[in-house]
Structure 1
């Protein structure tokens, strides 16, 4: 009998304790946002086209701590950011999807895609139009230069945006799966680190590089090689080989074959098919609806 009474009393205390605990609300405000986020049409479109399918956050507003404090930067115009977001998806994500399927972009796309209105300039006053950080973030600059005139000029679009997209994505792919270090040894003695900005196109070509920036170091050389190849027409690529001379062209071709092999074996991407897709899509930009977010 005593045991039953004790058990009953214990159950009562437990029940009272449970009720008392459940009645206690949080005494401090939550550290997590509790209000619904109000998103404009562009932000809703970004969720649908970047965040949900690819887990990519697109930042078009300057966010504290997300930009390099060494640069003086201007925020991106929201309308131009929307136009560029449509183009990026069409010419970068969709081009890779077409050639390799959606899983590559889903697994390898930067987790953060940042748009900045102005250019960034180094201490040497060289212009920075894009950066990739740690395999998770790509920043694109000069968004506010996306004028109607620039939109009609493929070479400027390539210079400002297309080349940068593919260059920075190559860095991410290399960070996830390193390329063969033998690549860096092909023109090892001619890398000049930060002094590349003083080199001409002709000098770079003759030494086996597709651009002066490729002379900075091996990883930049690799990214330049792929991004140039997939955004240049066959005639433009042949112009580089012609300008490089016999020796320079031979070195460039040797590097290209290593890039081709890497992309094929590591990512199942045929760079000639990718080039065809990129150039075809680049030729269709004028037909894109850049004013309606669907």
Structure 2
């Protein structure tokens, strides 16, 4: 008991001493270093507030927070200078297209409530890297922000592809996708998808290797790749796969299109066009590099009788040829170029006599150089089937137009600067401009 009392006296003495030494001076410590919630907002914070938090109730966290990322993985913090450029593209290529097609409130109603930005990728033990994740429909983590370049189309596509994929999961959590989708490629899903080739996957009806991971990943890969590739490139890829793979990919495409319409009243192809228009603002697609099977466009169609914006020179030649045809009892209707493999091209005229309609074909080679200059040369050997014999019949009458194509070189490009319209889509207008005179051209609708 004595010892206890003595101890108590000592403690009391210490407390009295501390009390008598109390000072009112502030601690010389920067608490903002310890508590990141105590900060003065920078211009980046204010921009994010105005462009994401206030209009969409979406928080964007770019200050490093280890607990927002996978524990046990080394991830580099993002550079603040990269934040606004990245999020500008997120808004332009992801948010705005959905607003244009789904309505101004669509993203406000259905969206992740938080973006977490990381500077580097997350590296996995199987040799893959993680570019993005989504958690419970509430949070999307975007990696590799430090290497993002808003002027580089590939960089923008990589980042937005991740969002489109993860956002598809969020949409699927809001309204579930069709359960029988998983039966289209049943048996093709594998745990070790990284060991499978892309070619083998497409033969089985998978648009990417990762699509083989699980049905829900397959669905998200279909949706995101269709949006980011665009219809022309997607169709070109599908056309090069084996027949069974084509059938499955087209069936999956229809499932996605139907889902967006029935679940959210969104025209998927209109959304696809809006996304492509946004990407085209970064780098316009080069028409000369999109011609040919498995690449992009396979046809160009024109009716010069009604296409009033044809150049003066071509219109004059067409009218002369048309008059020649009329004098011989025919009416020339339209013209189609069909682009085939190995630089082959078939030029077809549709013409009529009374109620009967005929086709006249001739084979050419179309060689396009690196500058987009095309040279059209009549093939020395022509088939002898009916449509080719028809060309022999009308060739003297159509000579003004045929010679225009054979005797000139052409710059192949869009015509949107003359006739306003979208580029890069099905039905977009492309033109063959005379290399020696850009005011002379022939144009038509690009198709597949």
TM > 0.5 between the two?
A: yes
Equivalent residue for 1:99, pick from 98, 101, 104: 101
Q: Per the alignment, do residues 251 and 38 of structure 1 end up closer, same or farther by CA in structure 2, a change over 3 Å counting?
A: same
Partners of 2:169 and 2:68 in 1: how far apart? 19
CA contact (8 A) 1:207 1:244 kept: no
Q: Distance in 2 between matches of 1:49 and 1:85?
A: 9
The residue that corresponds to 1:120 in the other structure is 122
C-alpha distance 244-156 of structure 1, shift in aligned 2 (>3 A): farther
Q: Find the aligned partners of 1:235 and 1:199 in 2 and give their Cα distance.
A: 26
- State how many pairs are aligned: 249
Q: Is the 8 A contact 2:239 2:246 kept in 1?
A: yes
- Structure 2 Cα separation of the partners of residues 202 and 111 of structure 1: 37
Higher strand share: 2
Please report how far the alpha carbon of residue 75 of structure 1 lies from its aligned counterpart in structure 2 after TM superposition. 0.6
> Retained in 1: the 8 A contact 2:73–2:123?
yes
The structure where helix makes up a greater share of residues is 1
1:36-84 deviation digits (Å, cap 9, x = unpaired): 8521111011111101111110011221311111321001111111100
CA contact (8 A) 2:118 2:144 kept: yes
Deviations 1:199-235 (A, max 9, x none): 1211111000100000000000000000000111333
The answer to whether the 8 A contact 2:198-2:208 is kept is: yes
Q: Counterpart in 2 of 1:200?
A: 197
Report the 3-state secondary structure (helix = DSSP H, G, I; strand = E; otherwise coil) of the residue aligned with 2:116: strand
Would the alpha carbon gap of residues 36 and 189 (structure 1) be closer, same or farther in structure 2, given more than 3 Å must change? closer
Q: Once the 2 structures are TM-superposed, how far is the Cα of residue 257 of structure 1 from its aligned partner?
A: 0.8
Alignment of 1:250 with 2:252, yes or no, is no
Residue 184 (structure 1) aligns with = 182
Q: TM-score, normalised by structure 2?
A: 0.54
Moved more, 242-251 or 205-214: 242-251
Candidates 109, 132, 157, aligned match of 2:111: 109
Distance 2:242 2:43 in 1: 52
Q: Equivalences for 1:1-294 in 2 at 5 Å?
A: 38-147=40-149, 151-158=150-157, 160-193=158-191, 195-285=192-282
Alpha-carbon displacement from aligned partner over 1:156-195 (angstroms, at most 9, x marks no partner): 431x2121111111011111111111111111211002x1
Q: Distance in 2 between matches of 1:64 and 1:247?
A: 46
Query: What secondary structure, in the 3-state scheme, does the structure 2 residue paired with 1:48 have?
Result: helix
Higher relative contact order (CA 8 A, sep 6+): 1
CA distance in 1, matches of 2:81, 2:75: 18
Q: 1:64 to 1:152 in 2, by over 3 A?
A: closer
CA distance in 2, matches of 1:110, 1:95: 16
Unaligned runs of 5+ in 1: 1-32, 288-294
Instruction: Please state whether the residue corresponding to 2:106 is helix, strand or coil.
Output: helix
Query: Is the radius of gyration larger for structure 1 or structure 2?
Result: 2
Determine if contact 1:210/1:252 at 8 Å carries over to the other structure: yes
Report the TM-score, using the length of structure 1 for normalisation: 0.81
Q: Please give the alpha-carbon distance, in whole angstroms, between the structure 1 residues aligned to 2:256 and 2:103.
A: 20
Q: Specify whether residues 156 and 48 from structure 1 end up closer, same or farther in structure 2 by C-alpha distance, changes over 3 A only.
A: closer
Displacement of 1:285: 3.0
Q: Note the residue ranges of structure 2 that are not aligned, 5 or more in a row.
A: 1-34, 285-448
State the Cα distance separating 1:278 from its structure 2 match.
Answer: 0.5
2:353 equivalent in structure 1: none
Q: Would the aligned equivalents of 2:77 and 2:120 in 1 still touch at CA under 8 Å?
A: yes
Q: Whole-Å Cα distance in 2 between the matches of residues 199 and 152 of structure 1?
A: 33
